[in-house]
Structure 1
Amino acid sequence: MCITDNKAGNVFGLEQSGKPAIRVLRLKLVLERVGVSRSTVYDWMNLNSPRHDPSFPHPIKLSSGGGRCGAVGWIESDLCSWLDSRIAAGWGGRMRTEIKSSVCQRGVGAALVAIGADC
């Protein structure tokens, strides 16, 4: 299932060549996906922070603003991979993740499936 951009009517997911499209997420969408505050995301990226997470994806520059200014965004697939690794680490082997092709594009990191649990 693809995602459509209601404003332009564009379809995300596949380019015309059939290759997966690269989607760049701005900070607001990253915060919604991860469920943390802006300061937490920037703490994860700050080398001097006690909350630094070297595995958190680095943003890419979207504009040529000089110095610390300018628009940045995160590659959606990098963020999805990071979320999947956090889910897998958090469950400590009691759960596993099964990635559906477009689950992350709909705003969900992964679908969790219980292993050996009575449902």
Structure 2
Amino acid sequence: MMTAENSVRFLRIKELTQLIGMAKSTIYDRLDPKSKRYDPTFPVPIKLGAGVTVWASNEIEAWMKACMEAARGGVQQAINR
């Protein structure tokens, strides 16, 4: 049985930009190894068909949590010095 806690939604680019607060171009830069903004930890999109690209909500949420932990960990390390 699927519950709200373990359900996975597919996010289209418009919803993804709103959720993470990044522009569409920045998201695609994060995915491009040739870009200065490349982020190998950014979740890879899923191609569902011609012109349909989505991201798994659970992967995006895990990435967001990792970003927060990294940012807070850096602040905590500076405080502990």
TM over 0.5: yes
Matched residue of 1:74: which SS? Answer: strand
Mapped pair 1:83 → 2:69? no
Identical pairs, percent: 33
Tell me by how many angstroms 1:73 deviates: 0.3
Q: Structure 2 stretches of 5 or more lacking a match? A: 77-81
Q: Flag the structure with more relative contact order, 1 or 2, with Cα contacts below 8 A and sequence separation at least 6.
A: 2
* Aligned residues between the structures: 73
Q: Structure 1 stretches of 5 or more lacking a match? A: 1-16, 95-119
Aligned-partner Cα distance in 2 for 1:18–1:30: 22
Aligned-partner Cα distance in 2 for 1:90–1:30: 21
Aligned partner (choices 10, 24, 34) of residue 24 of structure 1: 10
Aligned-partner Cα distance in 2 for 1:77–1:25: 10
1:101-112 maps to which residues of 2 (within 5 A)? none
Computed over aligned residues only, the root mean square deviation of the Cα atoms, in angstroms, reads: 1.4
Aligned-partner Cα distance in 2 for 1:18–1:44: 31
Aligned partner (choices 46, 54, 66) of residue 73 of structure 1: 54
Q: Higher Cα Rg: structure 1 or 2?
A: 1
